[in-house]
Structure formats: structure tokens, C-alpha cells
Amino acid sequence: MPAPLTAADLLPLEQYARERAAIRARMIDYRATRRLNVGPHCTWSFEDRETVRYQVQEMLRAERIFEAAGIAEELAAYNPLIPDGRNFKATLLIEYPDPAERAQRLTELRGVEAHCWLRVAGHAPVYAIADEDLERSNDEKTSAVHFLRFELTPEMIGAFRAGAAVAAGIDHPAYAPHVDPVPAALRAALLADLS
């Protein structure tokens, strides 16, 4: 199980500012291998310790947080996004460029977060446990951002490690694409999350 991030894992703001361009370029490439387009309008960005560290560094920079209490608060907010070796964690982004269409689609897609699934070949799909920090859907619409956790059984993990293919999808009545199998680069990244 990966250790939670601590303040010792972070760069001081001044050092981060000096190194930010190089870190950002590296993270763009790194995150690309951890991204899955599920149809034309939904992207799952699978999180790990590195993506969370980057997000925390960016938040500290943007908010100019340098005091210990503020850093601890950011770490407490983001550490739950790190997978624990038995699950995958992803940020779901629902993307429609046109604001009017986006508003309409977010109404039609209420509850979409409960319809996101992963399937290790030979096993039943695992549906996401969504938005554990706060509710992001209501009776009128869903949010454009959700946090997903996919819990795997030991048998699924064993099959995954043994080379089983992985599929992913959404089975919402208004949006039901799937990817079978997920790209090899993403599968390799997810495999590392299980160690």
C-alpha cells in the first residue's frame, strides 16, 4: 500500500516555481498514459501518488500556501485519491465545449457516476463508488467532475496480474460507451497501482 503524501514529499514553493515548467512537461506525458476516453464526452484520469503530488503542488502554488497547517489541509484533501493497492481511483470529467449543450447533458446524465464500471476479463464488472467526499449530483443535474473508486477482489487482482484484459465503460441510459480492452499503456499503469 502506498504511503500517504507528507509535507516532506513536497517541494518548497520557491523550488517548485523554478522547476515547474519541467515538472509540468513530465506530468503531461505521465498523465496521458493514465487517461481513458470513455466515449467522446467522458474522460477518466486515473490517479496515483505522482498525480496527487502534482495536484497538491499546483494547489499550494495557486493558493500561495506555505504554512504547515495549510499544507496539511491540502494533503488531507488529496491523499484519499491515492489508490491503496486493492483499488483504482479516477477523476471523471464530463466534457461538452458548448455551455448550452453542457447544461442540457448534465441534466440528462444525472447519476452517471453510479454507472461507471471496470471489468477484469472472466469477472463481473465492478461499479464505481463515487464522490465519497461530497455529493455531486442532485435532482436537477450532475456535476462535470466526479471522483471514482473501483474496488477489486483478490481474484480480480490475481487475474489482472496474470495478464487478463480490462474493459471499462458507462451504462447510463443517456450515455453508454465502453472501451474493450483498455490501452496497453493504461493497463500497465494500473498494474503498478496494484503493488
DSSP secondary structure, 159-186, as one string: HHHTT--EEEEE-BTTB--EESSPPHHH
Is 30:185 a contact under the CB 8 Å cutoff?
no
Sheet order of strands, 126-127 included: 126-127, 116-120, 166-170, 178-179
Is 110:137 a contact under the CB 8 Å cutoff?
yes
Beta-carbon contacts of residue 22 (< 8 Å; ≥ 6 apart): none
Q: Calculate ∠ Cα 85-166-162, nearest 5°.
A: 65
Could you give the count of Cα atoms lying within 13 Å of 7 in the half-sphere of its Cβ?
11
The span from the CA of 61 to the CA of 34, in Å, is 24
- What does the pLDDT read at residue 101? 96
Give the pLDDT confidence of 25-73 residue by residue, as tens digits.
Answer: 999 999 999 999 999 999 999 999 999 999 999 999 999 998 999 999 9
- What does the pLDDT read at residue 26? 97
Question: Residues 119-132: what's their mean pLDDT?
Answer: 93
Q: Is 129 exposed, middle or buried (0-12, 13-18, 19+ CB in 10 A)?
A: middle
Residue 92 bridge partners (DSSP): 44, 146
Q: What percent of the chain has pLDDT over 90?
A: 90
Question: Residues 139-158: what's their mean pLDDT?
Answer: 93
Question: Residues 100-118: what's their mean pLDDT?
Answer: 95
pTM (two decimals) = 0.91
Question: Residues 15-20: what's their mean pLDDT?
Answer: 96
Domains defined along the chain, listed by start = 1-32+49-82 (no CATH), 36-46+83-195 (2.60.40)
- What does the pLDDT read at residue 187? 97
Mean pLDDT, rounded, of the chain: 94
Residue 177 bridge partners (DSSP): none
